Amino acid sequence: MKLTTISRKPLGFVAGWTAAAGALLGLFLGTANGSGPTGLIIGAALGAALALALPALNNEKLARWLVLALLVAITFYFGGIALALLVGLFAGWFYGWFTFWLYEGRYRARLAPYLTPGQVLWHFGFRVICGAIFVFLITPILVVMPLSFNAEDFFTFTPEMLSLDPEGFSLKHYRDFFTNNEWQRSFKNSLIIAPIATVISVSLGTLAAIGLSQSHVPGKRAIMAILISPMIVPLIISATGMFFFYSQIGNFLEGTIGLDKTFVGYIKVILAHAVLGIPFVIITVTATLVGFDRSLTRAAANMGANPVTTFFRVQMPLILPGVISGGLFAFITSFDEVVVVLFVGSASQKTLPWQMFTGLREQISPTILAVATILVAMSILLLTTVELLRRRSERLRGMSPQ
């Protein structure tokens, strides 16, 4: 959408900005190689020169390829292949784009024509700030991934990794995860505990959410407050309370009824996790039920369906997306949970997060990074699923036009 007709800008204006941008890169490269000010000056000069030279070529595509090649060469000279790939490529693309973006006046195209230069500057400055915050949000997650392929047992990039030497990379941490008994057992435990806890919280939670969405529920606010309290009370307090309570329950189950100790341990952890997952199910399912058309159940009843049939054939398919995303929330809550399991469970219920936690606190092993990468992949998968479900649910309820 174009708001303003654009025109070419004076070269002096363009050169000023590209010089500043060049100075910034020059400063970094300069300080890294001994002298900041020299780098700064050379960078500024180079940036200004680019601004003056490129438009003279009269061929934007060629000019931008040339800048890209130049910057890759410069960064390769200073920092080897890793720097060339990481910084050079990006900087090369950026300087080419930036020069022409300014020179052709494209930056004004989408802005209202009456904005003053100061307002334009603020507009883009603000975007740069936001970009920086997004970088802050996402960098830690991105940094973990390449590090998990480290061939050494370090938590940092080795010189081999930076020079993209295949020797520097390996899958050994993943191998360790898949062959180490400790990790495998804890992974298995997580896969036992989380699904069962999810099933409990989803089945009870869905029923209760349907009950709560009826029009006349005595004490609705109080009930709601109780049901979502596990989400509000800090985990450490829940864990403390459950620690006292479940150790008594455990003693009772083991001593008086005579159940197996490991089995009782699983029961305790599963029940505790089920409670923690319930608020998420309640919230998502009640939110879905808000948009549910009640006349559908009445119509079904009118045509002779009993309440159970109505629930499974009419209501359930419609609220299923909400139920599933509530279930995913409950699953991730249990799968991610470490404080409660740390207090309530015993060593034979060690879950994956618990293993990671001890790993981080005591013997720090890079296998954690491999696990972290796997979990990030899993969360991307979950995020996609939830998003798709949300869209489907909105479509089913006719809330967003197709």
Partner 1 sequence: MSDATQPTPPAGPVLAADGTPLKRSLARALRMQKTRALLLIAPLLIFVLLSFIVPILSMLFRSVENQIVENTLPYAVEEIAEWDGTSEQIPGQDLFQALYFDMFLATELKRHTRLGTRLNYEQTGMSSLFRQTGRKLDDLGKDYRNAFKAVDDIWTKPATWAALMSGGDGAAANATLLKEQRVRLSTLNDTSLPRQSSFVPGQQISELLPLTTREFTAFALVAELIDKKDFAKVKPVESLFVALAADLSTADLAGYDGPYAEELRALVESGAVTMPDFQAFFVDADEEWGKLETWRTIQTHSSSYTSGYFLNAVDMQKTPDGIQMQPENKQILIKLFVRTLIMSLIITGACILLGYPVAWILANLPMRSANVLMILVLLPFWTSLLVRTSAWKVMLQQQGVINEVLVWLGMVADDSRLVLINNQTGTIIAMTHILLPFMILPMYSVMQTINPSYLRAAKSLGATNWTAFWRVYFPQSIPGIGAGSILVFILSIGYYITPEIVGGTKGVFISNQIAYHISSSLNWGLAAALGTILLLVVLGLYWCYDKIVGIDNVKLG
Asked whether position 316 contacts partner 1 by CB under 8 A, the answer is no
Asked whether position 230 contacts partner 1 by CB under 8 A, the answer is yes
Minimum distance between the CB of residue 373 and partner 1, rounded to whole angstroms?
Answer: 8
# of chain residues touching partner 1 (CB under 8 A)? 95
**Residue number with CB closer to partner 1 (28 or 178):** 28
User: Beta-carbon neighbour count of residue 361 at 10 Å?
Assistant: 8
Minimum distance between the CB of residue 129 and partner 1, rounded to whole angstroms?
Answer: 6
Structure tokens belonging to residue 40: 């700064």
Minimum distance between the CB of residue 396 and partner 1, rounded to whole angstroms?
Answer: 18
| Residue 150, strand partner residues | 169
* 171-210 binders of partner 1 (CB under 8 A): 204-205, 207-208, 210
Asked whether position 137 contacts partner 1 by CB under 8 A, the answer is yes
Burial (0-12, 13-18, 19+ Cβ within 10 Å), 123: middle
**Residue number with CB closer to partner 1 (67 or 253):** 253
**Residue number with CB closer to partner 1 (100 or 280):** 280
Asked whether position 309 contacts partner 1 by CB under 8 A, the answer is no
**What are the E-state strand segments in 153-226?**
none
Among 232, 303, 308, 399, binds partner 1 (CB under 8 A): 232
Stretch of residues binding partner 1 (CB under 8 A), selected from 50-58, 67-75, 89-97, 217-225: 217-225
d(CA 318, CA 315): 5
Asked whether position 368 contacts partner 1 by CB under 8 A, the answer is yes
Q: Which residue has the tokens 């022409």?
A: 100
User: Beta-carbon neighbour count of residue 221 at 10 Å?
Assistant: 8
Residue 112 φ/ψ, nearest 5 degrees = -65, 140
Among 4, 9, 36, 80, binds partner 1 (CB under 8 A): 36
Burial (0-12, 13-18, 19+ Cβ within 10 Å), 201: buried
Select from 224, 221, 222, 234 the least CA-distant residue to 276: 234
Asked whether position 229 contacts partner 1 by CB under 8 A, the answer is yes
**Residue number with CB closer to partner 1 (103 or 354):** 354
Minimum distance between the CB of residue 260 and partner 1, rounded to whole angstroms?
Answer: 20
Structure tokens belonging to residue 69: 């090649």
Vertex 242: Cα angle to 237 and 246 (nearest 5): 165
Per residue, the 3-state secondary structure of 276-315, as one string, reads: HHHHHHHHHHHHHHHCCCHHHHHHHHHCCCCHHHHHHHHH
The DSSP result for 52-79, as a single string, is HHHHHH--HHHHHHHHHHHHHHHHHHHH
- C-alpha distances (whole Å) from 393 to each of 179, 272, 336, 382 are 41, 30, 26, 16
Asked whether position 238 contacts partner 1 by CB under 8 A, the answer is yes
Asked whether position 233 contacts partner 1 by CB under 8 A, the answer is yes
What three-state secondary structure class fits 34? Answer: coil
Stretch of residues binding partner 1 (CB under 8 A), selected from 53-61, 95-103, 136-144, 296-304: 136-144
**DSSP classification of residue 169:** B
Site string for partner 1, 87-126 (x = CB under 8 A): --------------------------------x--x---x
- C-alpha distances (whole Å) from 42 to each of 10, 72, 143, 322, 365 are 23, 16, 31, 59, 44
Asked whether position 156 contacts partner 1 by CB under 8 A, the answer is yes
Asked whether position 235 contacts partner 1 by CB under 8 A, the answer is yes
Among 42, 71, 102, 147, binds partner 1 (CB under 8 A): 147
Asked whether position 388 contacts partner 1 by CB under 8 A, the answer is no
Asked whether position 225 contacts partner 1 by CB under 8 A, the answer is yes
* 260-289 binders of partner 1 (CB under 8 A): 271-272, 274-275, 278, 280, 283-284, 287
Minimum distance between the CB of residue 104 and partner 1, rounded to whole angstroms?
Answer: 22
